[in-house]
Structures are given as C-alpha cells and as structure tokens.
Amino acid sequence: MHQVMGIVNVTPDSFSDGGAFLDPRAAIAHGYRLAAEGAAILDVGGESTRPGAQPVDEGTELRRVVPVLEGLAQSGAQLSIDTFKPAVARAALERGATLVNDVTGLRRAPELAALVAEHGAQLCIMHSVGDPATMQDDPRYEDVVGEVRAFLERQLAFAIAEGVPRERILLDPGIGFGKSIEHNLTLLQRLAEIVDIGCPVLVGTSRKGFLGAIAGRDVQQRLGGTIATNVLALERGATVFRVHDVAPVADALAVAAATLAAKWPTKTS
C-alpha cells in the first residue's frame, strides 16, 4: 500500500520549479494535473526550504497558499500543507487540509501538534537540522541513522502526548535537510531502521541535489535518480512518496510494488 504525494510549490524560489506556479491559477491547474496523474495527496507549500532559502513572513505565505487550497478543494486528492507556521497550518486546516507537513519536525513550533490534534488531522514529522539558510554548511553526525531515528522517536512521543493519535503520524528522514550526499545515501540504504519505528514513512528525494551530483545532471534532468531512490525506498518499506513528476514515479512504483508482491493488481492507496 503506497501513495504518491504531488508537490505544489506556490513560491518564486523553490529549487526546481520556483516561479512556475506562483500565480494561484497556475498552481491550481498544476494540482489538478498531478491528481489526474495519480497523486493521492497534494502538498501545498508557500515557502521554499531549499538550502540557502530566505524566510517568508506569515502574511505572504498565507496569501500564497490559501487561494490554492481553496481551488484544490474539489480535486479529489487529500490536501497537505507544507509549513511550520501555526497560523498557516490553521488556515489550511480550516480550508480542508487534513495533513500538516512540518519540515522542522515540531522544532520551530511545538504547538503545531496540539493544533493538528484539535482538527483530527495527520502530521508529518520530518528530521532536519538548523535553518534552510545554513543547514548545508558542513553537516555532521556520529551515526546519521541513529540520530535521525532518535529525533523522530522523541518528536513522535511528544506529538502523541499532545493528543495526535499515533496512527495519524508520518515520519520522514528529511533527505537533503542538513545532510551530505553520504548521509542521504546512508539514510536511504538503511531506511528500514526508520520504518521499524512503526509509523508510515514518507520520503522526499525528488530532483534533489545529491541525485544531480551522482548522475551529473542539472535540476530538470533528475527523473531517473528520483525514480531509482523512490523504488528503493518502497522496497525498504516507505509508503508515501513526495515528488514533482507524479506520472512517471507513480508508474515506477506501481510496477515495483507489483514485482515485490509478484501480484497484480496491487492496491496503490
């Protein structure tokens, strides 16, 4: 059982599609396209978290995402809000979002957990270190998998204590967020140790820099690397796949899932 999460970046500066969907009509049309291509979830974000990105104020983020969430209400896909700001999460939850995707894993605003609980929504807790502005400045770990796992377990326990039922929580190792190429590869190789915590695991490798570094590709040419990493993550037990290119990744995952099960049709959501 797996789900594809399509990315809807309503930003001028996202690393791979910045500016393409800043106009709400373009973002809504893009969301509908991704849903038609097989995205069960649409992740709407109004602030880039790429390395070096500058913060966006709450008002700007709200103005970007609210019309898009409203426009996607009838898309048939589950709506997710990619934010760590409680006011943005609240506005999204009031407009039909049922998943809050927090790339700071409740570090920036622990009160997000109670807000999610109050709305009966789902929460994605992602591992990251520091801020986007500085997170790629020489990241270091003694044991990257152990440290990411310990962080996720700690934040999971906190979210449960704040009233979010365990079955509504997703965990994410945060590929590319304060990690070297080797850190990303180690986390993907040993993803089963994160899956072992017992919550559904979300992975986001789509078009990220380490894929380009390995294959020698610029940002628009990383679909092959995106597919390879998502298929391997599926094999290691991940269940939600956050991607820009929904159709080809959905096809790859469907074939990979059928192969792993030696069975078709396999349930895809």
The reply to whether 179 belongs to the active site is no
- The interface region with ligand HH2, picked from 42-50, 65-73, 141-149, 181-189 by CB under 6 A, is 42-50
Shortest distance in whole angstroms from residue 150 CB to ligand HH2: 18
Residue 74 or residue 221: which is nearer to ligand HH2 going by CB? 221
Shortest distance in whole angstroms from residue 242 CB to ligand HH2: 5
Q: What angle do CA 188, 190, 192 make, to 5 degrees?
A: 100
Q: Among all chains, which residue has been given the structure tokens 């270091």?
A: 140
Element (H, E) at 172: strand 169-172
Is position 82 an interface residue for ligand HH2 (rule: CB under 6 A)?
A: yes
Task: Tell which positions 85-144 bind ligand HH2, by CB under 6 A.
Answer: 101, 103, 124, 126
Task: Give backbone dihedrals phi and psi of 172, rounded to 5 degrees, phi first.
Answer: -145, 125
Pairing mode of beta strands 3-9, 122-126: unpaired
Q: Are 141 and 184 in contact (CB under 8 A)?
A: no
Residue 181 or residue 258: which is nearer to ligand HH2 going by CB? 181
SS3 content of the chain, % helix, strand, coil (to 5): 45, 15, 45
Residues recognised as catalytic: 208, 242
Sites of contact with ligand HH2 (CB under 6 A): 7, 9, 11, 14-16, 45, 48-50, 82, 101, 103, 124, 126, 172, 174-175, 202, 204, 242
